[in-house]
Structure 1
Amino acid sequence: MKRLFLLVSLLVLSKFSAQTWATEDQYIQRFAQYAVEEMEKYKIPASITLAQGLLETGGGQSRLAQEGKNHFGIKCKEDWTGKTMKHTDDAPNECFRVYDDPRQSYEDHSIFLSTRKYYTNLFNLDMKDYRAWAYGLKKAGYATNPRYASILIGKIERYKLYEYDNTNSSEVLYAVLRMYPDLKDDRSFMAKLEPSKATPKREPVTVTVPYKQTTFAQQQKRVERIKSKAEILNSILILSHPNEGLKYIVIPEDTTVKFIANKFKVSESRLMKWNELDSDVLKKNEIVFLESKNSTGNTATYKVASGEDMHAIAQKFGVKLNKLYAKNRMDEGQQPSAGQLIYLIDKKPRN
């Protein structure tokens, strides 16, 4: 029995390791090629790109990297027309880009840096001066973490990522092998070093699939698998908001304030007050706080998306609505326009 359990465990572990990157070294081995290719095209140090990828994905383990193949946490923005996914970062359910392949994420990261005016000065720096690039990114506002530059530099120096700044795309695999000599025993890696062999082109084969009618019993089973509205509502989980861990929930199906109040043992009046509600009807995907919101946000500013009002922004960032109006010197009830910059921490300066 013990041997059987061990065998099953090894099979599960091997399947899991094939789909993820268990260490930062494995991440580097897999994506150094992409970073060097981007360096050749866009003049961004490969060491910087790799260090950012390591940090943003937690060595390839983040949900964005695993599910969205998004390795740099790039949000949708107004010019994105591709696939998207919701993820909590500065606020709940923020929109992030989804890629079909990590290579697309690497190129989009390069395009992002090379076409945004905030990063123009970076390209005046020596491409092999990774320290200057790290501090330049922080100065340009790429990240809010005050230690962002030193964290990047730490990863670059720990893993000697600067070595990839001195190679080209045709030599990356040999550079990786020099850094990780044990890979010489890895058949799949060594196979990449061999010249590719052309494979004969095969003509597509047409397969005829007979129509199969779904029986009533099969339809019934599908219906049974669908959760009822009550089951969905009863499975709501309390979440921790990025703004100082405020307790909140996301409404999975249309319901009422009374239902939420009864479920979480909070008075209806408090829920109405904390969330500045003018109706007891709660819509699907609406954010509801289970405690009083904060007077300030966890990020400095936010650019309004099409169709958003001040209440939606206040809920997204866990800020009291009246405080949000005050910070932006707007009259209560006044609504922002798409693209407008909303201040979440400091008051909007007077003209």
Structure 2
Amino acid sequence: MKSIFCILSILILSKFQAQSWKNDEQYIQKFAPYAVEEMEKYKIPASITLAQGLLETGGGQSRLAQIGNNHFGIKCKEDWTGKTMKHTDDAPNECFRVYDDPRESYEDHSKFLAYRQYYVNLFKLDMKDYKAWAHGLKKAGYATNPRYAYILIDKIEKNRLYEFDNTNSKEVLYTILKMYPNLESDRIFMAQLEQSKVKPKPATVTVPYEQTSYAKQQQKVNQLKTSAEMLNSILVKNHPNGGRKFVVIPMDTQLSLISKKFGISESKLMKWNELDGGELMRNDILFLESKASSGNLATYKTKVGETMHDVSQKFGIKLSKLYSKNRMEYGEQPRVGQLIYLQSKKPRS
């Protein structure tokens, strides 16, 4: 029986390792059904909608997407009466629309194109000609980047998003499974697709008849499921300090699980994050590559309970460099409200 659970653990972890860094793929798997729905209602190619969503959100990582469920960077405009948020885009603190869920953002994007005169010529194009739509959007003034059309086309062709132009809302799950066959046995993914009518075959595990033994085995299964759900919920983010990749740990866990998920050795993760053990706590910041030698801000005032390591992780600075800049002994901790230098060295007193 022990070997069965070892195999289950290996299968779960190996699958998540195979999906490491694939923010775009995770985005497509989750939001392709919305894009196909919108294609059916508004005659906008699903490939175009998905490519724009990928580009605008950075694979679902943007602040607008995560806080405001805004996947297309649509600003408030004079006709918007819903919730809003401030975000710096072309100018500081611009007003952006906030949605209750991403589905609303997808529909609002469709309406934005369908009900504005600037885009009327788009709907004269062949709905399956994504290249014409990409160039049409640029010509209509949707974006200022002169290469916008080519960027969309590259996203579509790199990720085979044109497959979704040839499906419908009833068949979209089959299209996703065809593109990503490793998902076929992933119960977590299947549960997330609200429109799914395909039920994965449940895994069968033989357990002893005795109730006490069964309870122990069930507990192990639940632990594996919890770990898998935790790993699946982790999104790779880009830190403001140089765009370095990092994650926020959603629950207490072992460094070994994160190591296997991303295919990075524990020793490297410990070195990059100045860790002295394999225990990770909820809300810990963990860098997946080496941190910077200086910060993107000049200084920072510490808050109650913050250590130098906390500041190092918050601003993506190597701990040794942080100590050196502030002329502090390694291991020394800051006072509440102490001014910490993140770029240049603290002036000598």
TM-score (norm. length: structure 1): 0.49
- Between 1 and 2, higher relative CO (CA 8 Å, sep ≥ 6) is seen in 2
Larger Rg: 1
